[in-house]
Structure 1
Amino acid sequence: MIKSMTGYGRVEGLCDGRNIIVEAKSVNHRFLEIALRMPASLYPLEMEYKKKIAERFKRGRIDVSIRLEGEGSETSKVNVNMDIARGYFDVLSRMKTEFNIQEPVSIKSLISFRDIFTPSVENQLDAAFLNSVEKMLQEALSILVNMRQDEGIVLFSDMQMRLQAIGEIMGEIRLRAPQVVLEYQKRLSERIRELTAGLELDAGRLAQEVAVMADRCDITEEIVRMQSHIGQFEALLQSDEAEGRKIDFLLQEMNREINTIYRGISAFRHREEHHLQKVAGCMSRY
């Protein structure tokens, strides 16, 4: 079953006199990208938290914020490891010289290295408090997942309805396709006779050329491919895997087939043109 790429989850609770607020939201993204904001006292757990987040999602940009408020949070007390900072500064300085970079090494260049900063001893959080933070993180992620699933159910129903409508329309066009070719052939023959009135022409050769030209508006092959794409689309909607890219590809192919079918009948306007406009309308939302 498909899931929406957007969602939001928020959990708030008290522990040891401190208020813990965890917020998680997601938006569409080609890959999995995790952005985590939290107090310095939780920096040592950053990789562990990101791993837990990655276990819940396959793609999308996931933004998670963890805030600690109230007595005892002491989030501003942070130690700086000057030896590590000096090492980074030396490396950046050598790179600056080696690659002839004009921009100076600044404090902004150093603060991105998280291992330079560690919470002070009095700022360390006990195990029970950290367990509460992790539990609330998981709760916020669960709310986010549920929201994506609920919205996915709505999208699934809407897509199924549109695919069914497209399938029915393509079925009608397929039934009419042979007649369209014959009618086009008839009209083309009549028009040629009007233009060549009084001229002596090889009737057999003329009939052959008319048949060749009429065959160009035969759209049977495109209709068959379109119906195959619809079946594949329906199968992808039932999949538990992340199938967004495959669906994007199928939509491109379906649009290509619709355009080809439209060009095939463009010389002979018929009700099929109206059908194709309805198909394009069904697909336009995706």
Structure 2
Amino acid sequence: MIYSMTGYAARTRGVKGGALYLELKSVNSRYLDCQFRICDALRNVEPALRELISARLSRGKLECRLNFVPADSSAQPQRLNADLLSRLQCFDAEVRRVMPLAAALTVNDVLHWPGIFGDDALDVDALSPTCLALASEALDDFTASRAREGEKLAEVIREKLARTRALVCEVGPRIPAAQAAFNEKLRQRLLEAVETAGDERIRQEVAVFAARIDVAEELARLSTHLDEVERVLKTGGASGKRLDFLMQELNREANTLASKSLVSEISQTAIEFKLLIEQMREQVQNLE
């Protein structure tokens, strides 16, 4: 399948004392760029999460949020952890004895101190497998969302691809006649301008010029590149970089076609080629 670099997924799982919440979202990026927003209590899980994500994704700027949401205890009276409160008081006094200018702990500092209400500290070792399982489930949803969007983008590319291929098929058969007419017109002008030159010499010069403006090779390479784009879309997977390269090659051929064309019909077709290629390139930029 073709995958977009844009995706979103979120999962929640209840655990002792609350719930784990994991969110994944990504946008376009040249490489895989993972950014983690993890609560301090679960920070040790980050390396394993990074490894898990890196094994599933290859491109995109991804943000992973992992939080522990405590259970609602508003219905029950809360008690301060007397032992912890006493230790904080000793620590505060000791610090300010050594550093007199240090600010004392405020009530707000104390009330937000982990475990101050007697909550059991999170057992990170026990929660790590749960976090990874939750991340794996979220990645499944995340990958599915990227696949759905990727298929829509691929369909747009295929539509532009079909139009480009149709243009190649339309203009190809008309090029010999158009160039022959142009060559004859050029020959007549040269005969009028250079009366001393022989007709054979004029024909040779026109033949040399005609070879320089021949666009058959460009059209053939355009068809070859279009075939390769279609093949890559069918193969699927992480194909964004390959398709981006092919867009560059298609654009190169379209530029050459435009520069070599001295027939208005071919010049107009070259412009349409460039427009369609740019439209495809804009979609390719979103693919993994």
TM-score of the two chains, using structure 2 as the length reference: 0.75
Deviation at 1:273, TM superposition (A): 2.5
Aligned to 2:80: none
Deviation at 1:130, TM superposition (A): 4.3
- Is there any run of 5+ residues in structure 1 with no aligned partner, and where? 78-118
Asked whether the equivalents of residues 184 and 214 of structure 1 are also in contact (C-alpha less than 8 Å), the reply is no
Residue of 167, 171, 174 corresponding to 1:173: 171
1:209 paired to 2:205: yes
Deviation at 1:153, TM superposition (A): 0.7
Aligned to 1:147: 145
> For residues 32 and 171 of structure 2, what CA distance do their matches in structure 1 show?
41
> For residues 122 and 263 of structure 2, what CA distance do their matches in structure 1 show?
78
Aligned to 2:156: 158
Deviation at 1:67, TM superposition (A): 1.1
Give 1:79-94 correspondences, 5 Å limit: none
Which amino acid is the alignment partner of residue 274 of structure 1? Q
> For residues 282 and 227 of structure 1, what CA distance do their matches in structure 2 show?
14
> For residues 180 and 222 of structure 2, what CA distance do their matches in structure 1 show?
22
- Is there any run of 5+ residues in structure 2 with no aligned partner, and where? 74-83, 85-113, 282-288
Deviation at 1:61, TM superposition (A): 2.2
Asked whether the equivalents of residues 16 and 129 of structure 1 are also in contact (C-alpha less than 8 Å), the reply is no
Asked whether the equivalents of residues 18 and 70 of structure 2 are also in contact (C-alpha less than 8 Å), the reply is yes
Q: Work out the percentage of aligned pairs sharing the same amino acid.
A: 28
CA deviation vs aligned residue, 1:8-58 (integer Å, no higher than 9, x gap):
111234333413221101222232222222122222222112111122212
The alignment partner of 2:237 has SS state of coil
Give 1:1-286 correspondences, 5 Å limit: 1-71=1-71, 122-125=120-123, 129-196=127-194, 199-265=195-261, 267-269=262-264, 271-285=265-279, 286=281
Deviation at 1:122, TM superposition (A): 4.8
TM-score of the two chains, using structure 1 as the length reference: 0.75
Structure 1 pair 240/214, CA: closer, same or farther in 2 (3 Å)? Answer: closer
> For residues 71 and 168 of structure 1, what CA distance do their matches in structure 2 show?
62
Aligned to 2:92: none
> For residues 2 and 273 of structure 2, what CA distance do their matches in structure 1 show?
22
The alignment partner of 2:176 has SS state of helix
CA deviation vs aligned residue, 1:92-120 (integer Å, no higher than 9, x gap):
xxxxxxxxxxxxxxxxxxxxxxxxxxx99
Relative contact order higher in (CA < 8 Å, ≥ 6 apart): 2
